[in-house]
Amino acid sequence: MSVEHVDVVIVGAGLSGVGAACHLMRQCPSKSIAILEARDAVGGTWDLFRYPGIRSDSDMFTLGYSFRPWTGAKAIADGPSILSYIRATAAEFGVDEMVRFGHRVVAADWDSATARWTVHARHGAETTTLTCSFLYSCTGYYRYDEGYLPDFPGLADYAGTVVHPQFWPSDLDYADKRILVVGSGATAVTLVPALAETASHVTMLQRSPTYMIPLPATDSIAEWLKRRRWLPDSITYPLLRWKNALLSLGNFTLSRRKPEWVKSFLRKLAVKNLPAGYDVDTHFAPPYNPWDQRLCVLPDGDLFAAIRAGSADIVTDHIDTFTEKGVRLASGDELIADVVITATGLNLLALGGIELTVDGAEVKVGESMVYKGMMLSGVPNFAWTIGYTNASWTLKADLVATYVCRLLRRMDAAGHSMVTPVPSTPAGTTAILDLSSGYIQRSIEQLPKQGTVAPWRLHQNYVRDVRLLRHGPVDDDVVFA
């Protein structure tokens, strides 16, 4: 029985996968594409996570696709709006018709003799197989079927309801309930003000603080340009995209170069937005520098507003043990709660757990080096989308897709069937993600390394990557065959 062959297999139908398919259709229209999606819907992260208040930390002018302007009212949009945007994009470009749902890719084997990948996907109780000339992983690096939960002492003794945000039950009734949110990252910061609207009270319990910055949910410059209508959307949208990308990059660069100034600035914002006399230095002064971990955005300062209203508060302490009624802290205090939400983080999973082999040899992803932030050393005809940690994921995803299209066109023009990244000179390596966040440090060894020099160095810098991926050469440190 013959095995189906396509030019490009895209793994994942989330934000990255839909964008990759659209770029390929626009820039490489002759290529046949199949999209394999483990779940039963388009949307990826934005379909999986359904907890109250879910939203993006990134503005939609940069989280949206470069080829399809975001026209919603809010710059910092809620999860359902982002999901609708992704699905509308997929429908507009016909990408939804390319998706094969319920196909979890478990392995892919490269054969240099035929210059093809053989891709194995689990579909129900069966395993289906197809071949492709180029394999494009848009799986991100989070594990979808499992969230991180510390081994809390006494958890089995707790008589209330325990929920992990990654698996939010649709029938959870938390109205007029006392809620304890354990964690201080983006998920916790999002949940607290949303829950506080109907809960009796919400407490956020954190081991250590997180840097937070209140920003308007709407972009005043975007609204002004829309009202004036001086410029067509084809000019307005790229301008807004570049404006916000540069602001984000400037924030990150300033944090790296002048961390004490940024600390002082963020502290002043907290003091300004919190009740008089609030203990800012206990609850909003992390022990690390800004952008050693991600900076949490508060749309319209919603968390601060919930604290001012008295519907939410923050406790900075360590858990000693769970009790029947709540949590006893290291200080000896007990927090009583009807519902405990463990916003304790995510688990990482490289390539969605796909096992790769090249000519029969296992690819040890954790020992590989990443080329231009998107290909693996010694692995032919393969790309992996990894977005920015300090800016919108889609800014990088768009650049990776554009580069893949450039690479495929170059291969076609020169008659090449294979391209493999190979370092031209020995280089040192370092971790691919330079954040100190727990969810990264717990699993960093399973992710590929980055080099110390270009093109093996992963720069968290959109301007540099535009030059490298959109305009730079496609033949440095790669071998065509």
Q: Which residue, 223, 155, 216, 147, is CA-closest to 185? A: 147
What would the mean pLDDT of 284-288 be, rounded to a whole number?
A: 93
- Cα 146 to Cα 461: distance, rounded to the nearest angstrom: 31
> For position 11, what pLDDT does the model report?
98
Read off the pLDDT band of 443 (50, 70, 90). low
For residues 167-173, average pLDDT:
93
Domains of the chain from N-terminus onward = 5-144+347-480 (3.50.50.60), 149-344 (3.50.50.60)
Amino acid making up residue 232:
P
Strand order in 339-342's β-sheet?
A: 161-163, 339-342, 178-182, 201-206, 312-316
What pLDDT does 207 receive? 93
Percent of the chain scored above 70 by pLDDT? 97
**Spatial distance between the Cα atoms of 383 and 377, rounded to a whole number of angstroms:** 11
State yes or no: pLDDT of 440 exceeds 70: no
pLDDT at 228: 65
Angle between helices 220-228 and 233-257 (to 10 degrees): 160
| Span 92-119, average pLDDT | 97
pLDDT at site 66: 93
- Asked if residue 225 has pLDDT above 80, the reply is no
Angle between helices 302-309 and 186-196 (to 10 degrees): 50
- Report the percent of the chain where pLDDT is more than 90: 73
Cα gap 269→254, rounded to integer Å: 17
pLDDT of 283 > 90? The answer is: yes
Residue 212 has pLDDT above 80, yes or no: yes
Q: What is the mean pLDDT of residues 398-426?
A: 93
- Tens-digit pLDDT profile for residues 45-68: 999 999 999 999 889 999 999 999
Structure tokens at 126: 């069966």
Amino acid at 390: N
pLDDT score recorded for residue 391: 87
Terminal-to-terminal C-alpha distance of the chain: 29
Name the residue with higher pLDDT: 463 or 293.
463
Lowest mean pLDDT among 83-97, 117-131, 226-240: 226-240
Measured distance CA(122)–CA(287) in Å, rounded: 45
- 235 pLDDT tier (thresholds 50, 70, 90): confident
Q: State the virtual CA torsion across 353, 355, 358, 363 in degrees, nearest 10.
A: 70
325: left (phi over 0), alpha (psi -120 to 50) or beta: alpha
Query: How far is Cα of residue 217 from the mean position of the Cα atoms in its chain?
Result: 20
Indicate the pLDDT class of residue 348, thresholds 50, 70 and 90.
confident
Q: Specify the length of the chain in residues.
A: 481
Look at 440 and 396; give whichever has higher pLDDT. Answer: 396
pLDDT at residue 441 is higher than 70: no
Reported as a single tens digit per residue, the pLDDT across 449-472 is 888 888 888 888 899 999 999 999
Inter-CA distances, 87 with 13, 344, 385, 394, 436, Å: 10, 29, 19, 15, 33
Phi-psi bin for 210: left (phi > 0), alpha (psi -120 to 50), beta? beta
The pLDDT-based confidence of 425 (bands split at 50, 70, 90) is confident
Token readout for 160 is 């209330």
Write down the number of H helices and E strands in the chain.
13, 27
Residue 6 — very low, low, confident or very high, per pLDDT cuts 50/70/90? very high
Mean pLDDT of 9-27: 97
DSSP 404-452: HHHHHHHHHHHT---EEE--SS---EEES-----HHHHTTGGGSPEEES
What value does the mean pLDDT of the chain take?
Answer: 92
Alpha helices in 35-163 (DSSP H): 45-48, 60-63, 79-92
| pLDDT of the residue at 410 | 96
Using alpha carbons, list the distances in angstroms from residue 26 to 29, 97, 402, 458: 6, 16, 10, 27
Q: What angle do CA 116, 117, 122 make, to 5 degrees?
A: 150
